[in-house]
Amino acid sequence: MIILLNCSYRGERSNSNYFLGLLEAMLEEQCERVHLNRIKDADALGEKLQEADALVLGMPLYVDSAPAQVVNFMEKMYENHKGKLENLKVYVVSNLGFYESKQIHIQLEIVKNWCAKMGISYGGGLAIGAGEMLGGLRNVPVDKGPNAQMGEGIKKLAKTISDRKTTEDIYVEPTGFPRGMYKMAAQMSWGKWAKKNKLTKKELYRRMI
């Protein structure tokens, strides 16, 4: 059984949960989706993991690291379940708001180190750059347009998980959508949000100065 653990604080509404859904659609076997922000009993989750043979951590990048609740989860598993999860293989699907997916490599190293301490296998990760953008293109087919590179990455990771094998970490960004254009779009959107919060650009510039 595969456990898909959504580690975003935003729960079901998160991009992390959306990307896990895309992965699940390509996995032809039993999966169980678990939302970490709903877990009250970490030991019960540890017992559930003993019944699984694959765990996929879906999470955003927070300050070049893993979200605090993920670190807490790792510590609880180390304290109470080390030596009980030898059959588990761990994979990661991570996303961030910045364009460059390589920035996720520290987070993936954290997961690798945790796996080594737990005595379990790390199977590989998928790092998704411009996650806010790609997570917002939910009406675009996963293998088309800006989603194409991401779709290939998810397909490759799904095959790796299904075979319970290991892959090199996969880094993807929007297809055919250069960094300069992404940056331009981001610059356009903050003005809209400022207006929604009853702030003018002039006021914001004055505050920054």
Residue 207, pLDDT score: 62
**Cα dihedral 34→37→168→117 (10° resolution):** -100
- Assess whether pLDDT exceeds 70 at residue 119: yes
Beta bridge partners of 92: 57, 125
Residue 198, pLDDT score: 79
Q: Does the pTM exceed 0.85?
A: yes
Residue 181, pLDDT score: 83
Task: Identify the band that residue 40 occupies on the pLDDT scale cut at 50, 70 and 90.
Answer: confident
Task: Identify the band that residue 151 occupies on the pLDDT scale cut at 50, 70 and 90.
Answer: very high
- Assess whether pLDDT exceeds 60 at residue 208: no
